[in-house]
Amino acid sequence: MQTIRGFSISQELRERFLSAKSVFVLTGAGVSAESGVPTFRGGGNTAVWKGMPFDVISSARMVERNLPAVWEWFDYRRNLLKSLQPNPAHVEIARWQDRFENFTLVTQNIDGLHQEAGSRNVIELHGSIWRARCVTCQVRFNILKDEARPDACLDCGDSLRPDVVLFGELLPPDAFEHAAEEAAHCDLCFVVGTSAIVYPAASLPEIARTAGAYICEVNPERTPLSNLCNEMLTGNAGEVLPLFG
């Protein structure tokens, strides 16, 4: 057993990691915390925008009521993200993709840092802050780091909104189904940096567990999923994940 700064990776997990054929990773805001991206919940980072809790400003209701305010909140965050870089956790997860016969990375994050670290075929459950979507024809437009975002749909002229999944909205068609299918067929599942309270994302490790996978959580704090996990690595993702090396 290797013990570093109070946490340990069991021999069993090491062996499972070496022999796994199908690995499934679910990430949340905590995987980007060491890059400087604020998390949503806990740790004093709770996101509030101009006095509004994020579940109010990041809601389907607010898109209907005050789309400019929603854009202001997302523009602010895109601006913050511009100068941030992937951290060792993103880099390590990107390395894993070529190591296993089957590897699936599912993220709730909208920041694009997994892709920037080299991860391919990332299933983005909650969309991307780097895209806008037409409220009428649903056409999507990339938002480039150093250019102003388009302010109306180039196809129909109607308003654009952030292409992210807000509270009360459905996940992108097929994204959850694809993720659930992979979760049901993995033998090792990592749950990294998520408070695991937002559904349906939080049901993915439950699906993996029901299907018999070994579940490992990486988080400095316990979550509602901790009891379901076979192993809890209590620490920061950027310090823990590179130990699998």
Would you please indicate which residues are annotated as catalytic (active-site) residues?
Answer: 126
Residues shown for the chain:
245
Cβ proximity to ligand BJW, 80 vs 156, nearer residue: 80
Cβ proximity to Zn ion, 155 vs 181, nearer residue: 155
- Rounded to whole angstroms, the Cα distance separating 82 from 85 reads 8
Q: Can residue 206 be called a binding residue for ligand BJW (CB under 6 A)? A: no
Q: How far lies 15's CA from each of 11, 25, 95, 169, in Å?
A: 6, 17, 18, 40
Task: Give the footprint of ligand BJW on residues 112-131 (CB under 6 A).
Answer: 126
Task: Give the footprint of Zn ion on residues 139-168 (CB under 5 A).
Answer: 153, 155-156, 158
- Rounded to whole angstroms, the Cα distance separating 242 from 34 reads 14
Q: Can residue 51 be called a binding residue for ligand BJW (CB under 6 A)? A: no
Q: Which stretch binds ligand BJW (CB under 6 A): 4-12, 38-46, 92-100, 143-151?
A: 38-46
Q: Can residue 231 be called a binding residue for ligand BJW (CB under 6 A)? A: no
The residue within the footprint of ligand BJW, chosen from 33, 37, 122, 183 (CB under 6 A), is: 33
CA angle 220, 112, 136 (to 5 degrees): 125
**Which residues lie near ligand BJW (CB under 6 A)?**
28-30, 33-34, 39-43, 54, 58, 108, 110, 126, 164-170, 193-195, 197-200, 218-221, 223, 236-237
